[in-house]
Structure 1
Amino acid sequence: MSGAAPYDDDHANVVTVRYWAAVRSAAGIAEEQVDARTLADLQHEILRRHRDRDRFADVLSICSTLIGSVPVGARDPSEVLLTAGDTVELLPPFAGG
């Protein structure tokens, strides 16, 4: 997560999104690059990109989110700032050992 400078529209704020387990299956890809300054921006963009994929929005809604190794928890996505180069991990609940 970041103490990022204010967003500059002239410069991209590209982060990597990694999809795991069921959300990977629903997205049809393992990872992608997204230009987003907040977690809310990122969520909006990936929902737009995958709106035609069965189950994507449903699975995304139950995912835990980590930025790097830091869990986002119940924080407001619009208040979670992203920094260029961050990795956002999306992990649906899964069972196993």
Structure 2
Amino acid sequence: MKKEYYIISLKHTAKTDRYLTLWRPDNAGYCLSKEMAGIYTELKVGYHDSEGQLPIEKEVLEKLMINVSIDGFDRHAVPNCQAVWDVLRVKFIRNDLIKIKE
């Protein structure tokens, strides 16, 4: 079975956002919840994993999601907080969310 990924938009997540920004299906915009997010099985090197994007295995990211209300609907979103940043190996420098270099 192919691995499945969500893609986090580092570029479109601000430090003051409550939740991390995710890609919608088919590279068609951004959202905040699992219910609206795309699940990707094919990752284009240099596009889905560029400086501003971070593909994360579906199972890993779903463990970080919490139940929230977005626009009056029950959703699952990833909190934009230090504990999550540590797991994903990202950090904010100034107002930019970036990958931590290994």
What TM-score do you get using the length of structure 2 for normalisation? 0.28
**Higher normalized contact order (CA 8 Å, seq sep 6+, divided by chain length):** 1
1 or 2, which has the higher helix percentage? 1
TM-score (norm 1): 0.29
